[in-house]
Every structure is written in C-alpha cells, then in structure tokens.
Amino acid sequence: MNINRLGLNTVSIKFSNLEEMAAAAAGAGFRTIECPLDQIRRELAKGMTPAQARAIINGHKISVSGGFNQNLVGLGTPAEIKQSQDEHVANAELIAQLGGSMMVVGTDYINWPAAKDVPNVIERMAEAAKAVADRIKPFNVTMAIEFNWGMVKTFLSVVEIAQRSGAANVGVLFDPAHFHCTPSKTEHITAETAKWIKHVHVDNMPMTPAETTDCNTARLLPGDPASAYNLVDLFGRFEKFGYKGNYAIEMFNDELWAMPPAAACQKMFAAMQTVFSQLP
C-alpha cells in the first residue's frame, strides 16, 4: 500500500495547537491528515489565516486530505436547508484553502420520518446533496456522505443518495464502526456499490451486538485481537473493486486522547501497519 494513502483523522488526538498536531502526525509517518474544521477554526480565531495554517501543515511534509464539521440538512424548512447548504459551502472553501479535496458530512439531524409525512426521504437528501455539490464544484471538493451519522443508517441508502444526486462529486464515506452498528452487510459491497466509496475511515469494533455497541467509543485499533473484522479482507475487497482513495484512522478513545499527541500518533500508525503492510 502506498504510504501516501494513509492518513490521520486528527479528532483522534488531543489537540492543543496546529504546530504540535502537524509535527506529531508527520513524526509518526502519516502523510495526510483529515481535520475536524472546528480545530482549524479555533486557530483562525486566534488570528491565523488559512494560508498560514496550510503552510504550517505542509512545512511538516504532510498535506490535508479533507475535513468535516456537520450534517447535511435535507428535510428541514427552506430556511434551514439554505443555511445548511451555505455552511457546507463555507466548509468546502476552507478545506480547499487548506489544500484538501474531501468533505465528509452526515445526514439530517432528525429521526427518519414516517412515510406518510415524508414519503421521499432519499430523493430529498439527494436533492440537498446535489445542491451543495454544484456549489462546491469550483473548489474541486468532493462530498463523502457518512452512513449512520445522522438519519440515514445504511451503506446502501447512502449509495442510493449519491446515485440519485447525479453529481460526480458526491459519494460515500465508509467507516467500519458505522458499518458494524447498522444492518449493512459485507455482501452489499460489490463492484457496483464500491465505486461510490470516496473516502474510508480506519478502525475496528468488538464482537458485540450492534444494538448495544456505541459506534464511537467502542472502537478498537486495527490489529486488536478482540476485533470483529478482518480489515485486510474488508479493505482488500475495496481495492479489488477499484478503490483508489485514502484511508484515515479515526478513533474516539480516552487512552489516546490522554497521551501526548506524538505518542498517540505513533501508536495509531503502527496499528495501521498491521493491516496495510499486507495490502499491495
């Protein structure tokens, strides 16, 4: 596996400032980072410009692959939908200024409505995705919609949203933790559906029932012997079907957050090697 495809989602480490974070990621061996945009905006609020933030990151010989911030509203009032779209466009512009090209989003904050109230949920979400996709196209940013972050729970449903949007810069964010906690199945990952995967988060999950497992706090590092998934097989399936994008480790782990960022990054990079050293 090309090391340039292996990244760190910086939500995984204790964040105090951009310089420390970039140095920790680069020192561990990561070549790309994916950023919660709130981390970047805290630095901008102190007077840093996006160009200066990018220079700090690039100065450590790493680059920004993308970022994330919020859910995509598709079922609210017209004013709520417009506000959501405007915020996503601002996020995409910031990602582009940092040198990134991938914006990860969730789906609407509400629960899935009854069919008698909203019979066309998928179509409404596809329309919302298309509206944002068209506006962020000039930034060369792709929107990767994450299933089971918000209202839409399954891999196949997000694939359908991407398909119906008709936008080339809309696709799916795949995360094993979210996959584990939904009715999605490995057989749903086919040559036809895998082509919609635009970005992948890396983690594993314990062999516990989906209904009782928190998709964030229960995450295990790649290589953990208690894991439910053989990530070499899972990600190898993506590669077999032509996936060429990045993989970014994303953990929500108190032990990692308590570590100095450099040590946490080293631990996560080593864990990733247990998987990606076995993939071509």
Closest of 183, 174, 89, 82 to residue 127, by C-alpha: 82
> Residue 35's domain is classified under what CATH number?
3.20.20.150
Q: What is the pTM of this model?
A: 0.97
* Number of C-beta neighbours around residue 83 at 10 A: 13
CA atoms of 61 and 63, how far apart (whole Å): 7
The phi and psi torsions of 110 (rounded to 5 degrees) equal: -75, 165
pLDDT tens by residue, 57-75: 999 999 999 999 999 999 9
Structural domain containing residue 89: 3-276
Domain total in the chain: 1
The 10s digit of each residue's pLDDT in 86-127 is 999 999 999 999 999 999 999 999 999 999 999 999 999 999
Residue with tokens 């100095």: 260
List pLDDT tens digits, range 199-250: 999 999 999 998 899 999 999 999 999 999 999 999 999 999 999 999 999 9
Say whether 80 sits in a helix, a strand or coil: helix
Q: Where are the beta strands (DSSP E) in the chain?
A: 6-9, 32-36, 63-72, 102-107, 142-146, 170-174, 197-202, 247-249
7-66 confidence digits (pLDDT tens): 999 999 999 999 999 999 999 999 999 999 999 999 999 999 999 999 999 999 999 999
